[in-house]
Each structure stands twice: as C-alpha cells, then as structure tokens.
C-alpha cells in the first residue's frame, strides 16, 4: 500500500483549495479545475466566458486564484437565478404528442 500519493493522482481541485489568494494558475490548471479539456477552455476563453486574466503576455496567461474563486461563486448564483427564470418560458422545439400509459 502506498503511503504517499503522486502529484498526478491528486485532483487539482484539492490542490486549488489550498492555494493562496494571490497565487497564479495556468490555463491547463483552470481547465482541469472546470473538468474540461484545454482546447475547450481556450475556445470558451475566446468567447469571453471566463474572468479576464491578470497576466497575458504572448503565450503566458495566468489568473489569480481569488478572481477564479469569485467567478466560480458568482457562477453558481447566476445558475440558480437562470433556472428560476427559465421555468416560466415555453420550451423550444416541436411539441411532442402526449402518450397516455395504461394503468
């Protein structure tokens, strides 16, 4: 039985929870925090879905962990608001035929 885990075996979300507020994270670390691929992360970043980076110099892009935590906390609040608003709007697409089940 192993007493120590390798760094690859530890989930980045666990490591991220222990980071200092002013620590910087890379796009690959940000993507693993969200559970998406790095390529998908860059596509969503180009659409402006993430907070602005603290440092952007050529290929060197970094975000402050305090900004990322704030963005994540705001994201969950916005999601709850959107689900409440979305309940009253009619569904999009073709209506389906109602099927009655025999008891």
How confident is residue 2, by pLDDT bands cut at 50, 70 and 90? very low
The angle that helices 27-34 and 38-46 make with each other, rounded to 10 degrees, is 100
* CA 53 distance to own-chain centroid: 15
Q: Which two tokens stand for residue 16?
A: 């991220």
Query: Per residue in 18-27, pLDDT tens?
Result: 888 899 999 9
* CATH tag for 12-72 (out of 1.20.1260, 1.10.1660, 3.30.750, 1.10.600): 1.10.1660
Measured distance CA(62)–CA(56) in Å, rounded? 7
Query: Three-state DSSP class for 21?
Result: coil
Measured distance CA(14)–CA(55) in Å, rounded? 24
pTM, two decimal places: 0.64
Query: Per residue in 34-63, pLDDT tens?
Result: 999 999 999 999 999 999 999 988 889 999
Query: Three-state DSSP class for 60?
Result: strand
Measured distance CA(83)–CA(61) in Å, rounded? 33
């Amino acid at each position: 039985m192993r007493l120590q885990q390798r760094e690859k075996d530890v989930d980045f979300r666990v490591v991220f929870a222990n980071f200092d507020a002013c620590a910087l994270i890379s796009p690959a670390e940000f993507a693993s925090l969200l559970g998406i691929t790095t390529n998908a992360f860059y596509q969503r970043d180009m659409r402006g879905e993430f907070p602005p980076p603290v440092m952007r110099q050529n290929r060197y892009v970094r975000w402050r962990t305090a900004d990322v935590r704030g963005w994540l906390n705001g994201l969950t609040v916005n999601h709850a608001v959107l689900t409440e608003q979305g309940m009253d709007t009619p569904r999009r697409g073709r209506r389906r035929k109602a099927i009655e089940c025999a008891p």
